Structure 1
Amino acid sequence: MSNDGATVAVKLFLDKEKQRVLLAESDNDFVDVLFSFLTLPLGTIVRLLGKQSGAGCLDEVYKSVESLSIDHFQTKACKAMLLSPLNAAASQCGQLKIRIDDTNPRKVGICSNRRCPGFSYSSVPDAVCKNCGTGQTFAEHPQIVHTSVAYSGDGGFVTSGIKLIITDDLHVSPASASIVFSLLDKFGLHAEPAILLLKRALISQQALTGLFFDAAVTPDAVNLDQLPENFIQQPKHPEHKFDPIKIKPIQTKDDASVLYAEAGQDFVDLIFGLLSIPLGSIIKAYGQWSPNGCIDNLYRNIAGIGHISECKELLIAPKLAPHFGCSINALHVKELDTRHLKVKC
């Protein structure tokens, strides 16, 4: 959500005759919002876009978690973790002028049993104390800070005070004085269009044009279900290997399509676990997002512009929030060490 209704100024260079955005010019505030997309867990993206993200079948995965009863999960908290996963970069994202993720990382539960032998806390609703089994009392604690780096900046990912150029398909580069355009317009960006921009970045190569001219949100003419060529990878390290997962697909008589599949807990854990993985980690693992989106252009441009040095790793290899990892970690996404969660009592 936006902070106190704040907006970010963006200059658009337009071809009004063709109704197309040629490029945008902005300072670090706008690019910080774009880069923050990479830190969002997939489940958060689906939720923010009203389960209409257009990102393959992730919407249906999210709906499946919603519809399953608590009896199908190990604990009530497990379901809550999948539907509202935390962002391991919440500390940085929370300081942006525009925040599109409404998750409150400072709201934590602390064991309500004063006789509990050990201090226990959780950022997930409906969790119980691991020491005594007592329910936890949830409240907002301003002293709670999630951080995966020794952060010393004043908010955001990109160095402040610089001008940047953003193309329609979200390539980002330092502004050049040699770029001259005859058409110029301005608009203000706040939380709602920022969320719409996220959706367009996932499914279109003309994210800015679609946002500014309010074009219909339809995927480009590329198969959304097409997998990258390097989708199936061999683990580089022996410790990353995991046991094969077996499923039994039920096909039509002509084998043209799969009706459904019978699978065990391990396969369902793998699928549901995707909801807690940050978008940037998906791009890191496979080198791209869907070929008809442009969100991966943001990822590729990270090395080419000025950053607060401590934040670069948050964007290149975003981590899972503490305790949001799954036993089946096919993408080898690291979990934020709980030592980086600071609590002042």
Structure 2
Amino acid sequence: MANSESTVSLKLLVDLKRHKVLFAEAGKDFVDFLFTLLSLPVGTVIRLLAKHGMVGSLGKLYESVETLSDTYMQPNLDKDTLLKPKPAIGGTDVLHLLAGDEATRKVYMCRNYHRYVADDSRAICPLCNSAMSTEVPHVAPHVASGSSSGEGGGYVKGLVTYMIMDNLEVKPMSTISGITVLNKFNVKEVGALEEKVVHLGMQEGISLLKASLQSNYVLTSVFLGKKVA
């Protein structure tokens, strides 16, 4: 579990008879986290899940790049371009899944400080033909203290409660939408329902990412520990 500064809370509505999450109520932070998953490069997803935990063959493909000698790579290519691809600038990182990438990110300019930057110090400045070998500080996007809750940060607006279905479908929460879900699952006994507050930290975030690639019952799998066929 991540520390309290890197956790996001949400409220689950659990059907005790089916042992299944019907839906979750959550705020901006959790929805921002879910939307962040869409911006992750494939190489980053594989590295977060660990290549041996990947379903299919992408893990082996990643491992092939890792073990392939630089002798076989193009001389102007850094393998980290594939193994540690850089996420889109301006996104949000609610649980700091990308903190290590941002901390080591480097950008370069030419010695004449022309208005070009490069990720690779071997790049050539188009104005003076000098190597772009002068490192300049990289400034990560600003996120409000402790979260993405600032109205100017993240992806969705705050002060709104969102409904997240077990398959991660997201929509604004309303009384009507809640009743619609209960009817959809043919819930007859309100007493069979239980509210459960859970916290999403780094470990749960990675579990959620993995479950989202394997199942339509993501919240049930991650927070109730049940794999639904």
The answer as to 2:9 corresponding to 1:9 is: yes
CA spacing shift, 1:140–1:191, aligned 2, 3 Å: farther
Would you say the 8 A contact 1:165–1:175 is kept in 2? yes
Which deviations, in whole Å up to 9, do the C-alpha atoms of 1:158-188 show, x marking residues without a partner? 1211111111111111112142653111011
Where structure 2 has 5 or more consecutive residues not aligned to the other structure, the ranges are: 143-149, 180-189
Residues 213 and 101 of structure 1, relative CA distance in 2, 3 Å threshold: same
Partner of 2:187: none
Q: Which residue of 2 aligns with 1:123?
A: 119
* Equivalent residue letter for 2:96: R
In structure 1, C-alpha distance between the alignment counterparts of 2:48 and 2:84, rounded to whole Å: 10
Do structure 1's residue 92 and structure 2's residue 91 form an aligned pair?
yes
SS in 1 for 2:29: helix
AA paired with 1:22?
A: L
What 5-or-longer segments of structure 1 have no aligned partner? Answer: 147-151, 221-345
State the match for 1:70 in structure 2.
Answer: 70
Q: Report the CA distance shift for 1:192/1:75 in structure 2 as closer, same or farther (over 3 A).
A: farther
Q: Does 1:199 pair with 2:210?
A: yes
* TM-align CA RMSD: 3.1
Distance 1:140 1:4, change over 3 A: farther
Which of the pair has the greater relative contact order for Cα pairs under 8 Å at 6+ separation? Answer: 2
TM-score by length of 2: 0.76
The answer on whether the counterparts of 1:13 and 1:21 sit within 8 Å (CA) in structure 2 is yes
Using a 3 Å threshold, how does the CA distance of structure 1 residues 134 and 9 change in structure 2: closer, same or farther?
A: closer
For residues 135 and 117 of structure 1, do their structure 2 counterparts lie closer, same or farther at Cα, with a shift above 3 Å needed? Answer: closer
Contact preservation (8 Å) 2:25, 2:162? yes
The aligned runs of 1:203-214 (5 Å cut-off) are 203-214=214-225
Decide whether aligned partners of structure 1 residues 38 and 134 sit closer, same or farther in structure 2, where only a CA change above 3 A counts.
closer
**SS at structure 1 position matched to 2:78:** helix
**Whole-Å separation in 1 of the counterparts to 2:3 and 2:151:** 18
**Which residue type is aligned with residue 74 of structure 1?**
Q
Contact conserved, 2:27 with 2:160, CA < 8 A, in 1? yes
Tell me, in whole angstroms, the C-alpha distance in 2 between the residues paired with 1:109 and 1:92: 18
If the length of structure 1 is used for normalisation, what is the TM-score? 0.52
Q: Distance in 2 between matches of 1:9 and 1:134?
A: 44
Distance 1:86 1:134, change over 3 A: closer
